[in-house]
Amino acid sequence: DIQMTQSPSTLSASVGDRVTITCRASQSISRWLAWYQQKPGKAPKLLIYKASNLESGVPSRFSGSGSGTEFTLTISSLQPDDFATYYCQQYNTNSYTFGQGTKLEMK
Protein backbone atom coordinates (compact mmCIF):
# COMPACT_ATOMS: atom_id res chain seq x y z
CA ASP A 1 0.00 0.00 0.00
CA ILE A 2 1.02 3.59 -0.58
CA GLN A 3 1.34 5.40 2.75
CA MET A 4 0.21 9.01 2.99
CA THR A 5 1.69 11.21 5.70
CA GLN A 6 0.30 14.63 6.53
CA SER A 7 1.99 17.40 8.45
CA PRO A 8 1.38 18.94 10.77
CA SER A 9 -1.15 16.80 12.65
CA THR A 10 -2.54 19.91 14.30
CA LEU A 11 -2.27 23.50 13.13
CA SER A 12 -3.26 26.56 15.17
CA ALA A 13 -4.09 29.66 13.16
CA SER A 14 -6.14 32.83 13.15
CA VAL A 15 -8.74 34.23 10.79
CA GLY A 16 -6.98 35.89 7.89
CA ASP A 17 -3.85 33.72 8.11
CA ARG A 18 -2.38 31.93 5.14
CA VAL A 19 -2.00 28.25 6.03
CA THR A 20 -0.36 25.34 4.30
CA ILE A 21 -0.82 21.61 4.93
CA THR A 22 1.61 19.08 3.47
CA CYS A 23 0.90 15.53 2.30
CA ARG A 24 3.71 13.15 1.39
CA ALA A 25 3.33 9.83 -0.41
CA SER A 26 5.58 6.84 0.22
CA GLN A 27 6.10 6.52 -3.54
CA SER A 28 5.28 8.62 -6.58
CA ILE A 29 1.57 9.07 -7.26
CA SER A 30 1.97 11.53 -10.16
CA ARG A 31 -0.87 14.02 -9.54
CA TRP A 32 -3.47 11.51 -8.40
CA LEU A 33 -4.31 13.23 -5.14
CA ALA A 34 -7.48 14.64 -3.59
CA TRP A 35 -8.07 16.86 -0.56
CA TYR A 36 -11.14 16.75 1.71
CA GLN A 37 -12.48 18.91 4.52
CA GLN A 38 -14.36 17.29 7.40
CA LYS A 39 -16.26 19.01 10.18
CA PRO A 40 -17.30 17.22 13.39
CA GLY A 41 -20.22 14.86 12.86
CA LYS A 42 -20.25 15.43 9.12
CA ALA A 43 -19.06 13.52 6.08
CA PRO A 44 -15.88 14.63 4.33
CA LYS A 45 -16.31 17.13 1.52
CA LEU A 46 -14.19 17.09 -1.63
CA LEU A 47 -12.15 20.26 -2.08
CA ILE A 48 -9.53 19.45 -4.70
CA TYR A 49 -8.85 16.60 -7.10
CA LYS A 50 -5.92 15.74 -9.34
CA ALA A 51 -3.67 17.72 -7.01
CA SER A 52 -4.77 21.19 -8.08
CA ASN A 53 -8.29 21.09 -9.59
CA LEU A 54 -10.79 22.97 -7.45
CA GLU A 55 -14.13 21.17 -7.08
CA SER A 56 -17.11 23.20 -8.22
CA GLY A 57 -18.48 25.46 -5.49
CA VAL A 58 -15.30 25.41 -3.37
CA PRO A 59 -14.03 28.91 -2.52
CA SER A 60 -11.02 30.09 -4.48
CA ARG A 61 -9.05 30.72 -1.29
CA PHE A 62 -8.35 26.96 -1.36
CA SER A 63 -5.61 25.77 -3.68
CA GLY A 64 -3.55 22.64 -4.16
CA SER A 65 -0.19 21.96 -5.69
CA GLY A 66 2.46 19.28 -6.06
CA SER A 67 3.27 16.13 -7.93
CA GLY A 68 5.18 12.93 -7.38
CA THR A 69 5.47 12.48 -3.63
CA GLU A 70 4.92 15.93 -2.13
CA PHE A 71 1.70 17.94 -2.16
CA THR A 72 0.32 20.99 -0.42
CA LEU A 73 -3.09 22.40 0.38
CA THR A 74 -3.09 26.15 0.93
CA ILE A 75 -5.82 28.39 2.32
CA SER A 76 -4.91 31.91 1.31
CA SER A 77 -6.91 33.78 3.94
CA LEU A 78 -8.44 31.66 6.65
CA GLN A 79 -12.16 32.15 7.28
CA PRO A 80 -14.12 31.07 10.40
CA ASP A 81 -15.81 28.31 8.39
CA ASP A 82 -12.44 26.74 7.52
CA PHE A 83 -11.65 25.38 10.98
CA ALA A 84 -11.97 21.66 10.40
CA THR A 85 -9.92 18.52 9.76
CA TYR A 86 -8.32 18.06 6.34
CA TYR A 87 -7.41 14.77 4.68
CA CYS A 88 -5.44 13.92 1.58
CA GLN A 89 -6.16 10.76 -0.44
CA GLN A 90 -4.14 9.11 -3.19
CA TYR A 91 -5.68 7.32 -6.14
CA ASN A 92 -2.63 6.22 -8.04
CA THR A 93 -3.37 2.55 -7.46
CA ASN A 94 -6.45 0.38 -7.00
CA SER A 95 -5.93 0.56 -3.24
CA TYR A 96 -6.94 3.99 -2.11
CA THR A 97 -5.37 5.42 1.02
CA PHE A 98 -5.86 8.55 3.10
CA GLY A 99 -3.52 10.65 5.17
CA GLN A 100 -4.06 10.62 8.92
CA GLY A 101 -5.59 14.09 8.90
CA THR A 102 -4.62 17.63 9.91
CA LYS A 103 -6.80 19.38 12.46
CA LEU A 104 -6.92 23.13 11.83
CA GLU A 105 -7.85 24.86 15.06
CA MET A 106 -8.36 28.41 16.13
CA LYS A 107 -5.38 30.03 17.82
Partner 1 sequence: QLQMQESGPGLVKPSETLSLTCIVSGDSMRKNGYFWGWIRQPPGKGLEWIGSIYYSGTTHYNPSLKSRVTMSVDTAKTQFSLQLHSVTAADTAVYYCARHSDCSGGSCNSVPGYFHPWGQGSLVTVSS
Interacting residues toward partner 1 by CB under 8 A: 1, 32, 34, 36, 42-46, 49-50, 53, 55, 87, 89, 91, 94-101
Residue 80, preceding peptide bond in cis (omega within 30° of 0) = no
Q: Give the separation between CA 39 and CA 65, rounded to whole angstroms.
A: 23
Q: Which residues of 44-53 are buried (b: 16+ CB within 10 A; e: fewer)?
A: beebbbebbe
The residue among 19 and 87 lying less far from partner 1, judged by its C-beta, is 87
Residue number, 83 or 96, with CB nearest to partner 1? 96
Nearer Cβ to partner 1 (17/63): 63
Residue 71 C-beta: closest distance to partner 1, Å: 13
